[in-house]
Amino acid sequence: MVKVLITGAKGQVGTELVKLAPAGFTVIGLGSDQLNITNQQQVAAAVAEYRPSLIINAAAYTAVDKAESNAAQAFAVNEQGVAWLAEAAQAADIPLFHISTDYVFDGNATIAYQETAAVNPQGVYGVSKLAGEQVLAKTHSKHIILRTSWVFGAEGSNFVKTMLRLGKERDELTVVADQYGCPTSAASIAQVLWQLAKNYQQQGDLPWGIYNFSNSPRGTWHDFAVEIFKQGLALNLISKLPEVKSITTADYPTPAKRPAWSVLDCTKIETLLGYGVPCWKSELVQVLKDQQ
């Protein structure tokens, strides 16, 4: 059995990682109450106690707007916490799989971002996540950084849950229609990470580095909302279709700037794993069924 330590195990992706662990893998899934990654002693003690063969870091400070006024905590988790994990993994000579974000880019592109595209995060969250990528790459060569975007899952709070709640309360709502990205199910992220873990187990090695992974096709938050309501109605999660009016980013000011273009080119991971990224509309069906 391959023992895998999962941090942030109660978050959107962490929950799916625990749920979807393949045969042959034993999972030690620790929530923030069991392992606080900002605490070096706790990280070292967990690795010493469980002796994992692999660590998957699903812990992060993900409150994008709050990060603007709480930079210390964002960096503590997204940079220092990753540094402690990277040091522990390096000392134990085991790989560290880590999750990062489209927010490392400035969103000014018009073609999908490749892994090698220039980074230029626009807010505290993005800067802290980029710092985490960099400290991991500097500390430990056996790493995978999976950059993803617009995550939704059955657990935790996300855009899908917010839309369903608003769809029950309102006849009409406004959603931003000038930001482009790819919604990505937490389950599909977990599946990719497990496939990488299986490849590592079989081959004893991996082509380490940064990989993009999202679902397809690209759309706007408005497109996403319309699809949530269409599927939500079909599954009786809402009783009527609300009118979804388009607004611009300028009409919906937020403390943290959002990238206008978040589309990730996933060719590298598709080539490595030998399959195409899933469609978010199909992934959405599964998540909505879990809400029934």
Ligand X SMILES: NC(=O)c1ccc[n+]([C@@H]2O[C@H](COP(=O)([O-])OP(=O)(O)OC[C@H]3O[C@@H](n4cnc5c(N)ncnc54)[C@H](OP(=O)(O)O)[C@@H]3O)[C@@H](O)[C@H]2O)c1
* Closer of 164 and 233 to ligand X (Cβ): 164
- Residues β-bridged to residue 216: 279
- When asked if residue 61 is in the footprint of ligand X (CB under 6 A), the reply is yes
- When asked if residue 139 is in the footprint of ligand X (CB under 6 A), the reply is no
* Closer of 148 and 215 to ligand X (Cβ): 148
- The candidate with the shortest Cα–Cα distance to 171, out of 230, 237, 253, 238, is 238
Position among 53, 101, 188, 191 found at the interface with ligand X (CB under 6 A): 101
Our answer to whether residue 125 is catalytic in this structure is yes
Measured from the CB of residue 118, what is the shortest distance to ligand X in angstroms? Answer: 19
Instruction: Single out the segment in contact with ligand X by CB under 6 A; choices: 87-95, 143-151, 162-170, 266-274.
Output: 143-151
- When asked if residue 215 is in the footprint of ligand X (CB under 6 A), the reply is no
Please, are residues 220 and 180 in contact by the beta-carbon 8 Å criterion? Answer: yes
Measured CA to CA, the distance from residue 244 to residue 6 in angstroms comes to 38
Element (H, E) at 246: strand 243-247
Question: Which residue sits closest to ligand X, CB atoms considered?
Answer: 11
Position among 6, 37, 54, 244 found at the interface with ligand X (CB under 6 A): 37
Strands 219-220 and 180-181: antiparallel
Q: Which amino acid is at 72?
A: A
Tokens of 268: 């590298």
- When asked if residue 12 is in the footprint of ligand X (CB under 6 A), the reply is yes
Please, are residues 2 and 45 in contact by the beta-carbon 8 Å criterion? Answer: no
Chain positions 147 to 206 lying near ligand X, rule: CB under 6 A, are 148-151, 156, 186
Position among 127, 129, 211, 281 found at the interface with ligand X (CB under 6 A): 129
Measured CA to CA, the distance from residue 216 to residue 200 in angstroms comes to 26
Measured from the CB of residue 32, what is the shortest distance to ligand X in angstroms? Answer: 3
* Closer of 102 and 283 to ligand X (Cβ): 102
* Closer of 167 and 181 to ligand X (Cβ): 181
Alpha helices in 204-276 (DSSP H): 221-234, 267-273
- When asked if residue 277 is in the footprint of ligand X (CB under 6 A), the reply is no
Measured from the CB of residue 4, what is the shortest distance to ligand X in angstroms? Answer: 16
Instruction: Kindly give, in sequence order, each residue whose CB lies less than 8 Å from that of residue 78, ignoring residues fewer than 6 positions away.
Output: 60, 61, 125, 128, 129, 131, 132
Buried b (16+ CB within 10 A) or exposed e, 147-163: bbbbbbbbbbebbbbeb
Please, are residues 149 and 141 in contact by the beta-carbon 8 Å criterion? Answer: no
Q: Which residue among the candidates 61, 103, 113, 125 is catalytic per the annotation?
A: 125
Residues in the interface with ligand X (CB under 6 A) total 29
Active site residues: 125
List interacting residues with ligand X (CB under 6 A). Answer: 7-8, 10-14, 32, 35-38, 58-62, 77, 81, 99, 101-102, 129, 148-151, 156, 186
